[in-house]
Structure 1
């Protein structure tokens, strides 16, 4: 029962033992324990700071990536517009060249047709004149076979010349 109701000597020695243990702990153990706790606290704080920095960097990278994606989209749209303009311009140029070639071909065909028509007309005139001469020759042979008819024809021609 002495432990339940301690006497003064026991309390005194327990106090001295406590103070000695406290002195030894404060002298040799307290500082390393506190240093370890402070180091642990500092490492945790550093880890939290690094995590916050990393979070900020990730946010900045996300923003940068979003900006780069937007810039790439804008550049893609610009390139597509340029390609469409170039394609439209090339199509227009090709259409213009084709129209010019077709127009030139039509003009050449018209000229060729006109030349052929003129040649055909000249040939027809030549044939008509040849036929006219042959008809006239035949008529004159019939008309002039008789001497009375010849004199009458001469008289008509002379009369026609006087009138004109």
Structure 2
């Protein structure tokens, strides 16, 4: 049992050695160790804060990217709509212009046909008139071949003129 209970001298020297080691460690080791631990702790806290900041920035950039993507889709839709409206307007204008041109061509053709018809009618009338004059001339020459027939015809014309 003597081994379990230390002597007072051994206890004193052990306590003294412990206090000296504790003093030396406190003065030279614990300060730098605690300082290194605090620096490491602050470095880790800064890294975590920076990571949180980067994470927040990434979320913000992601939301901005999504809004830009939505805006780009809307602009694309708007541009496609405007292009379709422009295409439809151009097609309708071209159709209207084609109708106008076709109507103008039809009207010009109708007028040209009418003019040609009138010219042909005039020519036919002139031809008929010339033929009638020639026929009448030939008939009159044949009937008025003699002097007596000519004087009778002149007398008949004079009588008709007086009656009118």
Q: Aligning the two structures, in what range does the TM-score lie when normalised by the shorter sequence?
A: 0.7 to 0.9
Gaps of 5+ in 1: none
Describe the SS at the equivalent of 1:56.
helix
How far apart are the structure 1 equivalents of 2:89 and 2:3? 109
TM-score where L is the length of structure 1: 0.82
Q: 2:46 — aligned with what?
A: 46
- Asked if residue 109 in structure 1 is aligned to residue 109 in structure 2, the reply is yes
Which has the larger displacement, 88-97 or 29-38? 88-97
How far apart are the structure 2 equivalents of 1:128 and 1:3? 168
Q: 2:137 — aligned with what?
A: 137
1:73-84 aligned at under 5 Å gives the runs: 73-84=73-84
Q: 1:26 — aligned with what?
A: 26
Q: 1:37 — aligned with what?
A: 37
TM-score where L is the length of structure 2: 0.82
How far off is 1:36 after superposition?
0.9
Residues 60-113 of structure 1: per-residue CA shift (max 9 Å, x gap):
000111111111112222222222222222222222222222222222211211
RMSD (Å) for aligned C-alpha atoms: 2.6
1:69-108 aligned at under 5 Å gives the runs: 69-108=69-108
How far off is 1:27 after superposition?
1.0
Gaps of 5+ in 2: none
How far off is 1:30 after superposition?
0.8
Describe the SS at the equivalent of 2:96.
helix
Residues 3-54 of structure 1: per-residue CA shift (max 9 Å, x gap):
6553332222111111111111111111111111111111111111111111
Pair 130,12 (structure 1): closer, same or farther in 2 beyond 3 Å: same
How far off is 1:120 after superposition?
0.8
